[in-house]
Amino acid sequence: MTTFTINERDRFPAQKVEISGRWLFGPGPSNADPRVLAAMSLPPLGHLDPDFLTLMNETQTLLRYAWQTENQMTIPVSGTGSAAMEATLANTVEPGDVVLVAVKGYFGNRLVDMAGRYGADVRKITKPWGEVFNLEELTTAVQTHKPAILAIVQAETSTGVRQPLEGLGELCREHNCLLLVDTVTSLGAVPLFLDQWGIDLAYSCSQKGLGCPPGIAPFTMSPRAVEKMQNRRTIIPNWYLDMSLLSHYWGSDANGTQSARTYHHTAPINMNYALREALYILAAEGIENSWQRHQENAELLWEGLETLGLSCHVEKAFRLPTLTTVKVPDSIDAKAIATKLRIEYNLEIGLGLGELAGKVWRIGLMGYNSHPEKVLLLLGVLQKVLKP
Amino acid sequence: MTTFTINERDRFPAQKVEISGRWLFGPGPSNADPRVLAAMSLPPLGHLDPDFLTLMNETQTLLRYAWQTENQMTIPVSGTGSAAMEATLANTVEPGDVVLVAVKGYFGNRLVDMAGRYGADVRKITKPWGEVFNLEELTTAVQTHKPAILAIVQAETSTGVRQPLEGLGELCREHNCLLLVDTVTSLGAVPLFLDQWGIDLAYSCSQKGLGCPPGIAPFTMSPRAVEKMQNRRTIIPNWYLDMSLLSHYWGSDANGTQSARTYHHTAPINMNYALREALYILAAEGIENSWQRHQENAELLWEGLETLGLSCHVEKAFRLPTLTTVKVPDSIDAKAIATKLRIEYNLEIGLGLGELAGKVWRIGLMGYNSHPEKVLLLLGVLQKVLKP
């Protein structure tokens, strides 16, 4: 019999994990609420344990509140926001379906890439990074391309733009098309009425407006979207994100009543604790109060930036309260300043992406970080570094 | 302008998350090491923070030790074990490729399902649940079907069988075929020499042998598997699990040296802390010591079960140390006993799946739970309930 020997090459003298923390004022993750971190470190339960099934029901109910939807199929996907993004397309796109993507930043392009992988006939309309589409432009595009799905990002994390969504639900219903909206940087922090606005597919993340670490991702689909999925001619070409399978584990709850749940995959138990706690904190505050808090603290930031002689990349009417793109003054090296902030002040801000690389910083005020004293801390540090 | 009103239906009077814990002696998750839970609740960092990049390097190095591989492309997938399972197929299967799956339990069938979704010409050989394949049977099957990939489960969580893998690497190389192995219930706990055994693709989970909560999943591919991926004629039809993209975020590290890492998706930061801590604990113990501990505690369990008049479903030579299938005596309702254990003793064991439903219990002793005093606790409870 052959003997096998232990390879010790990679058994390096590691130590326990030590992280001292950071002020996270970038595009996300933002700092987690300590109550959420405490919930996350509770002992795991089995994924079919009755206590865990109760927590699943509660999470689904609270997610519906956060999104202002009554969609039955509202669940946390067992991955990060991009997994939930992919889930919206994987379940509803069939080869040859026209998917119209309104691109005005990095994440619009990601939707284009993903939709193509599922065989969509992708049509793309674009705007410069920092602008929004108006209803007339989107109406014309829908009339022209007659898509099965119109996809658009509400809160473009790459540009700091808040895309108005009013009227799109009616437009999509008139043209028998599903409305897919990226709410990664808006859920819990920016006004969003999923049902009243007629949104059919949406996804988000845990680490921005909800004040939770990344690793679990809200997902919802309307009855119209479920119907498209159920009428597919082809199998869903993604097992992990297949909502027709996942619905047996997550979908059978109706308004909090427990019924049979069938194993699909082992849920990330502790991430579910964390998300459930974050959603409870949001519900206790009241969604409209959270939206108002984010707006007020963003305005405090914008005033402070102006005082420092800095200007924002996006017109005020369309600025996101969660993510502000700040123009980098001509003589300044954006990256050098970000590095200085991290090293000297233990503080993270984001750099520009794509078209805006080198031109803007991205400053996030999200969830647990959207508080006035933290805005003042950030402004104080910026003043010290930029106007010493 | 239309006014939208807050729907309060789902703002139920939730309370904070409270979980008192459970003895998890089922098929997984098993109880997490408290040191891992502590690491997981440290404050999040940004996914491009230099401190996090260092932690990524360390995690990759420690994963290579745990798997006994020098594969460069060894990373934690941002999802649970099934996501990493799907990643092995999504990246390497092209439409029409013959994938031969040796099925002897539930998870073999899952590989069949997944491979089919990626367009594989799936061939299946089967064994009754509780048995293993021998090298002659697998050799004949490879000669007959000439697959591009041979897929087999080392540790079948549904049956408690440990499939011997010696010789398969040579077989697959002779026939120019990749060897894909499910190590979900073996990594860290059952002897496994990835490189010496010539395994090309493997995946695992965090919540079994590693003593970490679920939510992040080890994945590795050999240079041969990377080559097949790089020579694809078709795009990888899964964005989230696309290793050609992920390699820019995870793949550029070489033996612990840091180099540029490019954003793909936001990693589940705190799950990465947890996995890194779990892997450090394993390396500190020494992989061969962990394997021996799991074997010794399993033997203690098997002896105790015999004393109680219970017998195991699997022949001793092929029993997994991590997961034991115990025959349910004729007059006993398997589910009623499991419920009693949960309610009266706060202890979880697993029920049979598929062919073994109602016929066996599944008892797990994994990672942090593989300790003699816990085996004695479990045996004491079983005696009390079965022989009162």
Q: State pLDDT tens for residues B51-107.
A: 999 999 999 999 999 999 999 999 999 999 999 999 999 999 999 999 999 999 999
- The nearest alpha carbon in chain A to B60 belongs to A10
Comparing CA positions, the residue from B387, B323, B380 lying closest to residue B352 is: B323
Distance from the Cα of A44 to chain B's closest Cα (Å) equals: 6
Report the CATH fold assignment for A23-29+287-386.
Aspartate Aminotransferase, domain 1 (3.90.1150)
- Asked if B250 and B65 count as a contact pair (C-beta separation under 8 A), the reply is no
What is the reported pLDDT for B253?
A: 46
Q: Find chain A residues with C-beta within 8 A of B36's C-beta.
A: none
Q: Give me the mean pLDDT over the A54-67 stretch.
A: 96
Distance from the Cα of A156 to chain B's closest Cα (Å) equals: 15
Amino acid at A9: R
Q: Which of B6, B29, B237 sits opposite A68 (nearest CB)?
A: B6
What is the reported pLDDT for A255?
A: 37
The two three-digit tokens of residue A232, written as one number? 């597919």
Q: Find chain A residues with C-beta within 8 A of B4's C-beta.
A: 191, 193, 196-197
Among A301-305, B47-51, B194-198, the least confident range = B47-51
Testing the interface with A: which of B15, B232, B239, B369 to mutate, by most A Cβ within 10 A? Answer: B239
Q: Which of B9, B41, B348 sits opposite A38 (nearest CB)?
A: B41
Per CATH, the architecture of A34-284 is what? 3-Layer(aba) Sandwich (3.40)
Q: How far is CA B178 from CA A254, B143, B173, in A?
A: 45, 14, 7
CB-based burial, A77-107: b 16+ in 10 Å, e otherwise: bbbbbbbbbbbbbbbbbbeebbbbbbbbbbb
Predicted complex ipTM exceeds 0.85? yes
Same fold, B23-29+287-386 and B34-284: no
Q: How far apart are CA A65 and CA A59, in angstroms?
A: 10
Q: Where are the domains of chain A?
A: 23-29+287-386, 34-284
Q: How far apart are CA A89 and CA A72, in angstroms?
A: 18
Q: State pLDDT tens for residues A224-246.
A: 999 999 999 999 999 999 999 99
- Asked if B313 and B327 count as a contact pair (C-beta separation under 8 A), the reply is yes
Q: Which of B16, B83, B116 sits opposite A280 (nearest CB)?
A: B16
What is the reported pLDDT for A379?
A: 98
The two three-digit tokens of residue A43, written as one number? 């002992």
**Higher per-residue pLDDT: A255 or B73:** B73
Distance from the Cα of A49 to chain B's closest Cα (Å) equals: 8
Q: How far apart are CA A52 and CA A263, in angstroms?
A: 13
Residue with tokens 């206590």: A51
Per the prediction, chain A carries an average pLDDT of 95
- Asked if B381 and B347 count as a contact pair (C-beta separation under 8 A), the reply is yes
- The nearest alpha carbon in chain A to B2 belongs to A166
Beta-carbon contacts of B159 under 8 Å, excluding residues fewer than 6 positions away, are: B104, B105, B106, B129, B130, B313, B314, B325, B356
Distance from the Cα of A15 to chain B's closest Cα (Å) equals: 7
Q: Is the entire prediction scored with pTM above 0.90?
A: yes
Testing the interface with B: which of A5, A25, A41 to mutate, by most B Cβ within 10 A? Answer: A41
Q: Give me the mean pLDDT over the A176-190 stretch.
A: 98
Contact A29 B44 (CB under 8 A): yes
pLDDT band at A253 (very low <50, low <70, confident <90, very high): very low
Q: Find chain B residues with C-beta within 8 A of A50's C-beta.
A: 342
Contact A10 B62 (CB under 8 A): yes
Q: How many contacts (CB atoms, under 8 Å) link A and B? A: 309
pLDDT band at A254 (very low <50, low <70, confident <90, very high): very low
Distance from the Cα of B299 to chain A's closest Cα (Å) equals: 23
- The nearest alpha carbon in chain A to B33 belongs to A43
Distance from the Cα of A256 to chain B's closest Cα (Å) equals: 9
pLDDT band at B12 (very low <50, low <70, confident <90, very high): confident
Among A349-363, B246-260, B275-289, B309-323, the least confident range = B246-260
The two three-digit tokens of residue A300, written as one number? 């405090």
CB-based burial, B66-76: b 16+ in 10 Å, e otherwise: bbbbbbbbbbb
Q: Which of B86, B197, B238 sits opposite A117 (nearest CB)?
A: B238
pLDDT band at A257 (very low <50, low <70, confident <90, very high): very low
pLDDT band at A258 (very low <50, low <70, confident <90, very high): very low
Testing the interface with A: which of B158, B265, B353 to mutate, by most A Cβ within 10 A? Answer: B265
Q: How far apart are CA B270 and CA A3, in angstroms?
A: 38
Contact A6 B288 (CB under 8 A): yes
Q: How far is CA A279 from CA A70, A210, B11, B16, B130, in A?
A: 16, 7, 10, 10, 43
What is the reported pLDDT for A256?
A: 39
B1 has pLDDT over 70: no
Three-class DSSP labels, A10-47: CCCCCCCCCCCCCEECCCCCCCCCHHHHHHHCCCCCCC
What is the reported pLDDT for B256?
A: 39
Q: State pLDDT tens for residues A348-363.
A: 999 999 999 999 999 9
Distance from the Cα of B248 to chain A's closest Cα (Å) equals: 16
Contact B46 A64 (CB under 8 A): no
Q: Find chain B residues with C-beta within 8 A of A346's C-beta.
A: none
